[in-house]
Amino acid sequence: MFMRNAPTYLGSRIVLLLVAFSFGIALLVESAHTGHRGSLLLSVGWLLLGVSWFLQPAILSKKLFTTPFLQPGTRVAPGIGPRSLRVALLVGAFGCIAAGIAMHIFVGT
């Protein structure tokens, strides 16, 4: 039951997961070479964001731009897993990315 919506928009899910993981892994390699903790937090944030995007993909279509957002009848991609898990992943990703950017700007590490 947890993965029953996985085949829906599978291409979008995989593309978004690969984009976020490519950023996350690139930043992880950079932080391993330079020792910057800010890059490490950014990479963890991107990896969490990739998992979150896989569970609830953003689907863009022409219909989305012609109808008011979240009007009754607007299609939304079905999510995988409980909503609380997806929200926790997004909050964790935002916290890691914000902390990583702050460390880059203010601390320099």
Q: Print pLDDT tens along the chain (109 aa).
A: 455 555 667 777 888 889 999 999 998 998 889 888 888 999 999 999 999 888 887 665 555 555 555 555 555 567 788 888 888 999 999 999 999 999 988 887 6
Q: Domain of 19? A: 10-96
Cα 36 from Cα 104, distance rounded (Å): 8
Structural domain includes residue 1: no
In the numeric block, the tokens 């899910």 are attached to 13
Structural domain includes residue 65: yes
Cα 63 from Cα 61, distance rounded (Å): 5
Structural domain includes residue 109: no
Structural domain includes residue 102: no
In the numeric block, the tokens 């009754």 are attached to 72
Structural domain includes residue 5: no
Assigned token pair, 58: 């953003």
What pLDDT is attached to residue 1?
A: 45
Cα 14 from Cα 51, distance rounded (Å): 10
Length of the chain: 109
Structural domain includes residue 36: yes
Q: Do residues 46 and 100 lie in contact, with contact meaning Cβ atoms separated by under 8 Å?
A: no
Please give the model's pTM, rounded to 2 decimal places: 0.76
CA distances for 62 relative to 13, 58, 75, 90, angstroms: 19, 13, 12, 26
Domain count, the chain: 1
